[in-house]
Amino acid sequence: MCGIAGWVDFERGLREEASTVRTMVGTLANRGPDDEAVWTDERAALGHRRLAVIDVDGSPQPMVAEEDGRTLAVLVHNGEIYNFRQVRAQLESLGHRFRTAGDTEVVLRAYLEWGERCAERLEGMFAFAVWDPRAGKLVMFRDRLGIKPLYYARAGRGLVFGSEPKALLAHPSIECAVDTEGLAELLAYIATPGHAVYRGMREVPAGHVTVVRDGSVTETRYWTLPNHEHPDDLPTTVDTVRGLLQEAVSSHLVSDVPLCTLLSGGVDSSAIAAIAARSVTDGRRPKTFAVDFEGHTERFRKDFWHEDPDAPYAAEVARHVGTDHEPVVLRTADLADPVVDAAALRAQDLPRPIPDMDRSLYLLLRSVRQRSTVALMGEVADELFGGYQSFRDPTLVDTANFPWVTMGLRVAPHGMSTGLLDPGFLKKIDVPGYSAQRYAETVAEVPRVPGESDQEHTMRVVGHAHLSRWLPLLLSRDDRLSMAVGLELRVPYCDHRLVEYVYNIPWGMKTADGREKSVLRSAVADLLPASVTQRRKSPFPVTQDPRYGEVLRDRFNAVVADPSSPVRPLLDSPACTELAKEDRPIAVDGWGERRNVEMVLQLDAWLRHYRVRLDI
């Protein structure tokens, strides 16, 4: 796993601009702690930071393909190609010769053989850019689900790109500005394909190729979610899901460095851990890790989201499948550490409405990185198999808006985490209107399958919305927080063959036993304890320690009392003043007050440290 950045310009020479690109790629140092390099010519400058996972001692980047002293193409690549050995064999049969043992040279040679269509032959998670001096063009590719990130922005008669916004913001011609649309995207908590919160910045959309020539930037889709009738009965469907999941996990175990699995005790991650454990052939007990909070099991209180604590279930699964399991126990002081808070924000470049979860995940991944370089996780199963409340509540799934946005609008009139922001500011941003417009665009992307009932089509739309507008938020968070500590996270449920199959399973079959994720539970029932396969969906855990509420209280009061705070003009002053007067910890039960306060603190830190200019 790596970090990439670069600059192409069709007017000015870039041979002497290595220092600029080195500064850009330097912001991505945590993504690639093992090596750094920059390559330049007259029209392009490419930079790379490397985390060595495959072919540890080889495969340097930027990687150059030459012939008779002439440069054919230069590649910077972030990701893993799980079928690179098969693609390599095909390329060798076509006459290509290889100097290295890794997947990077396979990607470069695939481009030389198949050009802009090479991504169609690659399976994995990837974002890569190729400078092709023969055609005078930069070509950028992103994997089908958008697991690996890639941003770009116009710069004069050229373009800059990078794995994260911070790399682009390090370029002298890119300003750190956010307009009304960017704020609406941020506060609605949706991920419109191609959009980035910062003005003038875009993401290469998932499943797309972006080609940059002098005077033009074009985006072409090479993959999309297929919509078709599901041909199989329930038993065949369950067997097929099991087979596809086993193949996905097996392909994700390829590594030349230590590998482990994240294990929460839910059916999603437990299934991954069980299949991975069965795949070990060298006699060693595979490693699993889980996050927990000091005293959490003893003080646990059931709430709307969490019915029981994770730790006992994770331990039970580890015993059942035979892993060497290690809980990572966090203290409230760890969660409240301002250095950790700053690191999590810096990793994501944006404020988020659930920063305590981000900090917990960051600390878990940081601890895992001390023992492993690669970790498998169970993300994406809920989006695929319909695990969220936003799938199952009929009052959320047909409201002409994203179900999770509708859920947030029930908490506050302008959406989740906005309860302490100025009503006039929020009216100008118009989260409900913006998200409704984006949802209408999403609905238009989903054709009706022949013979599909109204309810089944509605659930197809909901599934598409979760995979295309919600999932990117989670993948972005996972990528940034893992890369911030130099850990490669892999997501087997994102295998595109599994996604294509499960997406088209009818909702009635996905909930055949009246519960969420019926098909997945049945597919792995023989691998796991019944207590886990029958367990209700439980989101990522949060601390219930009232001392965390005291920390939030102190920090909130400090922001409200600080006349230089950049967030103050955005606040509902009467509401904030009233809350600051109350002599009690911020409530950590539920999501309302806690999330509202966390968003104020996040916005303050973001505006302060990034020096964001708001154009509203």
CB within 8 Å of 193: residues ≥ 6 apart: 203, 205, 206, 468, 469, 472
CB within 8 Å of 355: residues ≥ 6 apart: 341, 344, 345, 598, 601, 602
CA distance 361 to 366: 8
Backbone angles phi, psi at 481, to 5 degrees: -70, -35
Scan for tokens 């409201």, then name that residue.
399
DSSP H helical ranges for 504-615: 507-510, 518-523, 530-533, 546-561, 573-581, 592-610
Q: Dump the DSSP string for 67-130.
A: ETTEEEEEEEEEEEETTHHHHHHHHHHTT---S-SSSHHHHHHHHHHHGGGGGGG--EEEEEEE
Instruction: Judge whether 162 and 32 are in contact, CB under 8 Å.
Output: no
Instruction: Judge whether 59 and 106 are in contact, CB under 8 Å.
Output: no
Q: At what angle do helices 592-610 and 573-581 cross, to 10 degrees?
A: 110
Scan for tokens 């207590």, then name that residue.
531
Q: Which of 314, 483, 460, 472 is nearest to 380 (CA)?
A: 472
Supply 459's token pair.
């659930």
CA distance 90 to 92: 5
Q: Strand, coil or helix: what is 308?
A: coil
CB within 8 Å of 328: residues ≥ 6 apart: 289, 290, 291, 292, 363, 364, 367, 368
Q: Strand, coil or helix: what is 569?
A: helix
Q: HSE on the CB side for 70, CA within 13 Å?
A: 6
Amino acid at 55: D
Does the annotation count 118 as an active-site position? Answer: no
Q: 447-450: long-range contacts (C-beta < 8 A, 24 or more apart)?
A: 447/227, 449/227, 449/228, 449/229, 449/504, 450/229
Name the active-site residue from 2, 260, 494, 576.
Answer: 2
Amino acid at 335: L
Q: Strand, coil or helix: what is 613?
A: strand
> Measuring CA to CA, how many Å separate 85 from each of 27, 88, 102, 126, 466?
32, 5, 9, 16, 33
Strand order in the sheet with 44-50: 35-40, 44-50, 2-9, 158-162, 151-155, 201-203
Scan for tokens 């799938």, then name that residue.
391
By annotation, the residues acting in catalysis are: 2
